[in-house]
């Protein structure tokens, strides 16, 4: 956590470009040695550390927003689903309130849908996954990797609800 914090701070101080900033922020969620994303309690701990690091920034700060997302995903990864749901719902409200891009909103909705699914609220997850898939399809077309991932998530929820004909139509 300390390494990620230092790397991001150095990049900001030296006015490095967004690509470098994003790579350095990636240390909060991805191991620099094996390049795998952290999971479970490690992801949760780093999510909390990231959130504590950037919480004091303005609501419009991108790192603060990203930290909120990492916290929500970390809580979900560690099985703290009710807490994850609270964070992700607040993140979605903030993203909409700040007028973020449709892509940003779809990312948050996708994460929230996943949490609803893990909580067993498949109908709510399905509704949100339908919106995410529809949004991705409109923005990026059917060949886009994020659209395909959204279609897969939507199909899994349809399958879980035994709505096989609808799943086949995707």
Taking CA atoms, 16 is separated from 3, 29, 59, 61, 76, in Å, by: 17, 20, 22, 16, 32
Range of the domain at 167: 101-170
88 lies in a domain?
Answer: no
Distance, CA of 112 to CA of 6 (rounded, Å): 30
Residue 41 has phi, psi (to 5 degrees) of -65, -30
Distance, CA of 99 to CA of 71 (rounded, Å): 21
pLDDT at 165: 87
Domain boundary among 79, 111, 130: 79
pLDDT at 114: 96
The predicted-structure confidence for 97-134, as pLDDT tens digits, reads as follows 999 999 999 999 999 999 999 999 999 999 999 999 99
Considering the domain architecture, whether residues 66 and 115 belong to the same structural domain is answered as no
Count of other CB atoms within 10 angstroms of residue 135: 19
Count of other CB atoms within 10 angstroms of residue 46: 20
**Beta pairing partners, 30:** 37
How many domains would you assign to the chain?
2
Considering the domain architecture, whether residues 53 and 123 belong to the same structural domain is answered as no
134 lies in a domain?
Answer: yes
Q: Are 38 and 30 in contact (CB under 8 A)?
A: yes
Q: Rounded to an integer, what is the distance from CA 130 to the centroid of its chain? A: 17
Domain of 141, CATH number, reads 1.25.40
Q: Are 38 and 65 in contact (CB under 8 A)?
A: no
Considering the domain architecture, whether residues 66 and 108 belong to the same structural domain is answered as no
In the chain, what percentage of residues exceed pLDDT 90? 94
pLDDT band, very low/low/confident/very high, at 77 (cuts 50, 70, 90): very high
Considering the domain architecture, whether residues 3 and 75 belong to the same structural domain is answered as yes
């Amino acid at each position: 956590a300390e390494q990620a914090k230092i790397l991001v701070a150095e990049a900001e101080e030296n006015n490095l470009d967004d690509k470098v900033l994003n790579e350095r922020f990636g240390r909060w969620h991805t191991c620099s040695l094996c390049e795998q994303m952290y999971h479970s309690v490690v992801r949760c701990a780093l999510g909390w550390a990231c959130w504590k690091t950037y919480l004091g920034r303005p609501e419009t700060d991108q790192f603060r927003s990203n930290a909120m997302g990492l916290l929500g995903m970390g809580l979900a990864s560690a099985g703290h689903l009710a807490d994850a749901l609270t964070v992700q719902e607040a993140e979605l409200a903030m993203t909409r309130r700040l007028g973020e891009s449709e892509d940003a909103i779809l990312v948050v909705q996708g994460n929230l849908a996943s949490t609803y699914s893990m909580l067993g609220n498949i109908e709510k997850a399905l509704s949100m996954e339908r919106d995410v898939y529809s949004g991705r399809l409109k923005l990026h077309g059917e060949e886009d990797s994020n659209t395909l991932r959204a279609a897969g998530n939507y199909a899994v929820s349809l399958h879980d609800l035994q709505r096989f004909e609808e799943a086949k139509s995707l």
